[in-house]
């Protein structure tokens, strides 16, 4: 006689299928909600389910395998890792958030989540702060929250956590979650009013019992418990996010409690061997947490499989990464760890530390990780190996990468990842001043672990902005639909796929085009194919966008420094950069009427070609780290190369310059906004100060200088918002 219990309900591979098929079979949701996690418990307590379970296991063996195998389309173009195939609201309806209130009425974010009856994409017609009155929970499957659609200053959610609980196929992008102590019960009593949040549950983001979830370009802060807490879930990705400023001495009942990420796995060893079921942490910034940056655990007999790759960890207190229990498999690759003012001296050179209390195995592969532990402001970390991974036995240190989803061509060097994270992480279409402060502190090696939002200025106001016209309310603006051959009066075309050879819906193509137009997500030919028509500018704050231009205005503001250190001013042209040998170029732009800490939208230098050049040229553009840059002095040797540089640099490989006198896109630099942002964020910067940009590299392009032709001298153009 066949033992169906043994064949179909052994807690192994088939149990994995059961878990992943929970959104297929309603009765299995009942079993999960009852807390019965093993088949023996189910049979002991629910014998009536026997036949149903046999049928379900057989069904799942056929249906869920094919369903998940067929779902190879990424959530969006730059989705990576275990959660990359989350479908979100693909193919469903569209809900417009039109209110910032949290009363659950139509038009609120809460109503958009609770009223979903199938796949849904939530877009925003308004920007600003949503102050929650209770937990904001995503309980329904197949939801996309497209924060990148918010106009104005984007969306910040505060006061209570975001909970992704018991749901599957969830996409959350470009949102800020700043929980804070605003509604937390004082454990010592007194003055609580109507507060209803306990400090030991005050995470910024809480994920539990979820499957196929990707969280992308989020900003999470001011948690009293963990900033991000992921438990009992499978196939989760957290990428390109800022996880910062957990509160230490606040209202947690245990006392000081500054924590970054707590991640507890809920899969099996056999599932991990197939590369499914784990968590991916990719290109995130973890800053100003006392510990748990991150804490990774299985809960025996369950397992945790994790990829922790290309992240930046800054200013931990007690320790950065560690575990408590075990049953962990971990790839820890090409991360950059930077000591800050809060770090205890005896923990300067730690990356990941194995805990003393272990009930199972912990195997780890590590490679290419850097630690900058000298407590100065220079970015000069060193490659570290075994010594940074404390308490691991030799048999626990693997020689090859575990077979997890992130592909090798997506893994950058630690230093490249560092630059990428500082430039792009978080809700970065328009960074608020809180995120910009954190980025600035990483660059300057400043700041500290905080106790209260008031330590860093508290909640800030955000411009509401104005959403583009969307006549048919399909989530795609009329102008964009017309540009791409769609009908702005036909809502059904949102779910057609005529704009994507890969099979993305037209709505998904639009949502990715917002991000691609800001340079924050590559849309490769194998993912989304956007027609070659203009894309909308990214949502901006409701404050006016201003444009300033500065032209080289004297012969002492464009200079060349020879290899010998000799500085040449008054040259008839600007050699980028070879003149006999490769040289260093300095360009000074003065009278820039940009207020301190303005948000830089875009910046570039427009050159005019003086001669025809087509050879390979590779240039690096940096800024002088100065509040008000001085002009160049030919009497001071190395007066260009000796200047202090910004942490941000931009690479430029200009195309051929085909004709003298051209001043087009080939003669225009890539976006320099991050360099300019770093300079105007300096405490001593004020309007009408001067900026110096420094160009080095190899190859040759000849541009007009001020002395060569004043009308064709280089022009710096900057767009900014106050």
Please give the full DSSP string across 558-572, using - where no structure is assigned.
EEEE-TTS-EEES-S
Which residue of the set 173, 292, 299, 701 is catalytic? 292
CA distances from 287 to 109, 174, 178, 258 (A): 28, 18, 14, 11
256: left (phi over 0), alpha (psi -120 to 50) or beta: beta
Residue 540 to residue 170: CA distance in whole angstroms: 26
Give the tokens for residue 140. 């329904």
DSSP, res 517: H
The closest alpha carbon to 428, from 128, 154, 170, 172, belongs to 154
C-alpha 124/C-alpha 429 separation (Å) is 14
Q: Is 292 a catalytic residue?
A: yes
Rounded to whole angstroms, what are the CA distances from 419 to 336, 467, 623, 647? Answer: 10, 32, 15, 8
**Other beta carbons within 10 Å of 17:** 22
Buried b (16+ CB within 10 A) or exposed e, 535-553: beebbbbbeeeeebebbbe
Q: Are 128 and 100 in contact (CB under 8 A)?
A: yes
Helix (H) or strand (E) holding 543: none
Give me the residue label for tokens 């395998």: 65
Tell me which DSSP letter residue 153 carries.
T
Length of the chain: 722
Give the DSSP H/E element, type plus range, for residue 49: none
Q: Where are the alpha helices (DSSP H) in 244-388?
A: 269-273
Q: How many CB atoms lie within 10 A of CB 520?
A: 20
Angle at the Cα of 685 from the Cα atoms of 683 and 690, rounded to 5 degrees: 155
CA-based nearest residue to 421, from 597, 678, 648, 147: 648
Instruction: Give CA–CA dist 75/86, Å, rounded.
Output: 5
CA neighbor of 406 nearest in space, from 312, 305, 501, 497: 305
Q: Any idea which residue has 């012969």 for tokens?
A: 555
**CA 710 – CA 172 distance, rounded (Å):** 50
**Alpha carbon distance 627, 572 (integer Å):** 29
Region for 273 from its dihedrals, namely left if φ exceeds 0, alpha if ψ lies in -120 to 50, beta otherwise: alpha
Alpha-carbon distance of 563 to 38, in angstroms, equals 72
Beta strand residue intervals within 271-361, DSSP E: 279-282, 285-287, 295-297, 304-309, 312-314, 321-322, 328-333, 336-338, 352-353
The DSSP bridge pattern shows strands 155-158 and 128-131 to be parallel
Catalytically annotated residues: 292
């Amino acid at each position: 006689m066949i033992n169906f219990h043994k064949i179909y309900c052994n807690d192994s591979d088939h149990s994995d299928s059961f878990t992943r098929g929970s959104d297929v079979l309603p009765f299995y949701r009942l079993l999960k909600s009852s807390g019965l996690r093993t088949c023996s418990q189910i049979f002991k307590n629910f014998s009536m389910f026997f036949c149903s379970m046999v049928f379900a296991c057989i069904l799942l063996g056929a249906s869920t395998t094919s369903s998940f195998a067929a779902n190879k389309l990424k959530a969006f173009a730059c989705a990576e890792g275990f959660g990359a195939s989350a479908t979100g609201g693909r193919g469903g309806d569209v809900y417009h958030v039109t209110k910032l209130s949290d009363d659950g009425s139509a038009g609120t974010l809460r109503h958009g989540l609770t009223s979903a009856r199938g796949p849904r994409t939530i877009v925003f017609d308004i920007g600003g702060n949503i102050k929650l009155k209770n937990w904001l929970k995503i309980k329904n499957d197949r939801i996309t929250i497209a924060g990148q659609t918010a106009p104005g200053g984007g969306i910040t959610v505060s006061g209570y956590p975001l909970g992704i609980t018991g749901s599957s196929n969830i996409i959350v992008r470009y949102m800020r979650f700043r929980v804070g102590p605003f509604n937390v019960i004082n454990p010592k009593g007194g003055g609580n009013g109507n507060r209803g949040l306990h400090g030991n549950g005050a995470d910024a983001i809480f994920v539990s019992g979820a499957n196929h979830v990707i969280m992308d370009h989020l900003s999470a802060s001011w948690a009293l418990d963990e900033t991000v807490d992921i438990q009992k879930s499978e196939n989760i990705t957290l990428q390109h996010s800022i996880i910062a400023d957990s509160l230490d001495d606040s209202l947690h009942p245990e006392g000081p409690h500054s924590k970054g990420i707590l991640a507890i796995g809920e899969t099996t060893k056999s599932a991990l061997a197939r590369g499914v079921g784990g968590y991916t942490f990719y290109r995130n910034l973890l800053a100003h947490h006392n510990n748990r940056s991150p804490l990774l655990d299985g809960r025996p007999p369950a397992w945790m499989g994790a990829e922790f790759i290309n992240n930046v960890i800054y200013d931990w207190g007690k320790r950065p990464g560690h575990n408590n229990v075990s049953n962990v498999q971990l790839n820890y690759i090409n991360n950059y760890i930077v000591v800050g003012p809060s770090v205890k001296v005896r923990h300067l050179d730690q990356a990941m530390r194995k805990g003393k209390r272990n009930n199972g195995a912990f195997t780890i592969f590590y490679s290419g990780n850097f630690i900058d532990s000298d407590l100065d402001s220079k970015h000069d970390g060193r490659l570290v190996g075994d010594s940074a991974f404390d308490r691991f036995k030799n048999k626990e240190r693997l020689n090859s990468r575990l077979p997890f989803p992130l592909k090798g061509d997506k893994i950058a060097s630690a230093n490249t990842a560092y630059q990428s994270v500082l430039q792009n992480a978080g809700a970065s279409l328009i960074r608020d001043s809180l995120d910009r402060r954190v980025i600035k502190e990483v660059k300057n090696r400043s700041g500290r672990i905080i106790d209260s939002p008031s330590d860093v200025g508290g909640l800030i106001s955000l411009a509401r902005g104005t959403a583009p016209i969307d006549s048919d309310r399909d989530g795609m603006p009329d102008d964009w639909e017309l540009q791409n051959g769609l009908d702005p009066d036909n809502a059904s075309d949102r779910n057609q796929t005529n704009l994507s050879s890969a099979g993305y819906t037209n709505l998904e193509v639009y949502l990715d085009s917002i991000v691609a137009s800001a340079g924050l997500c590559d849309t490769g030919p194998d993912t989304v194919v956007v027609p070659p028509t203009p894309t909308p500018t990214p949502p901006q704050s409701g404050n006016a966008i201003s444009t300033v231009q500065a032209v080289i205005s004297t012969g002492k503001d464009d200079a060349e420094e020879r290899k010998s250190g000799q500085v040449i001013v008054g040259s008839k042209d600007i050699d980028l950069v070879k003149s006999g040998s490769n040289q260093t170029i300095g360009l000074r732009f003065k009278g820039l009427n940009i207020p301190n800490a303005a948000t830089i939208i875009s910046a570039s230098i427009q050159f005019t070609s003086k001669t025809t050049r087509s050879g390979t040229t590779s240039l690096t553009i940096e800024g002088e780290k100065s509040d008000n840059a001085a002009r160049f002095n030919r009497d001071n040797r190395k007066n260009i190369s000796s200047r202090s540089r910004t942490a941000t640099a931009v690479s430029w490989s200009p195309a051929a310059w085909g004709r003298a006198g051209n001043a087009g896109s080939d003669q225009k630099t890539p976006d320099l906004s991050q360099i300019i942002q770093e300079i105007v964020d300096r405490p001593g910067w004020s309007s009408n100060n001067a900026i110096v940009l420094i160009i080095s590299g190899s190859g040759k392009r000849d541009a007009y200088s001020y002395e060569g032709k004043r009308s064709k001298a280089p022009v710096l153009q900057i767009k900014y918002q106050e």
